[in-house]
Amino acid sequence: MWEKSIMRINGEEDDVRGIHINEQDSLIFPNNVTFSVASSKSSNFSFEFRTLKQFGVLWLEGAWSQAEDGGDFVLVFIDEGKLYVGVNLGADVHLKPISTNVTVADNHWHSVAFRRKERKCELWVDSKKILHVVSSPGDTILDTNGLVYLGGANPKKHKLLKSLDLTNKFVGCVKNLKIFEKEINLLVDSLKSVETPKYCHG
């Protein structure tokens, strides 16, 4: 299911086991692979990650700020070493995190796959279906700024994260990102470059 990433850098192919990202790095992609859409009825993404950190936002898809009556978002994050997911299509004012009860801050590779069709969401962790979530009654469309952030974003610039009290970016390794089943090159396809990429092996 999970294939090795092949990155093409300066015209050469490197067999890369993963990219290390820290508090300063940002990996940002259009939410529909090659272009951005502000409103969507479906979501489909998967990736692998490895970390020892107990806290951190792994995946962020949302608006720049949270409205007083709620703001749309899809979040995958680590809290006290366990993996959580949060989905809001506009009906909730506050984050209602759902725990997978899976410990992931163990320096082992873990896979995540998320699928959404309108209000119905499914989350797989390590190729096992862990959660089936139905968001609160109301809208079926996810309204965002059209971007996804692998490893989170700077909470000082992204007010949504600050309003949800999620101020820790992910620190660790990521690889094998797919959006709507299309393989994404973490370095080449990112809208913001990582100045000095560090590769993760093993």
**Residue-level pLDDT at 4:** 34
Q: Would you state the pLDDT for residue 2?
A: 32
Q: H helices then E strands: how many in the chain?
A: 1, 18
pLDDT for res 66: 55
pLDDT at residue 16, as a whole number: 53
- Nearest alpha-carbon partner for 56 in 88, 80, 24: 80
Ordered domains of the chain (ranges, CATH): 16-199 (2.60.120.200)
Residues of the chain with pLDDT under 70: 1-17, 64-70, 93-94, 156-157
Q: Give the separation between CA 166 and CA 149, rounded to whole angstroms.
A: 14
pLDDT at 69: 46
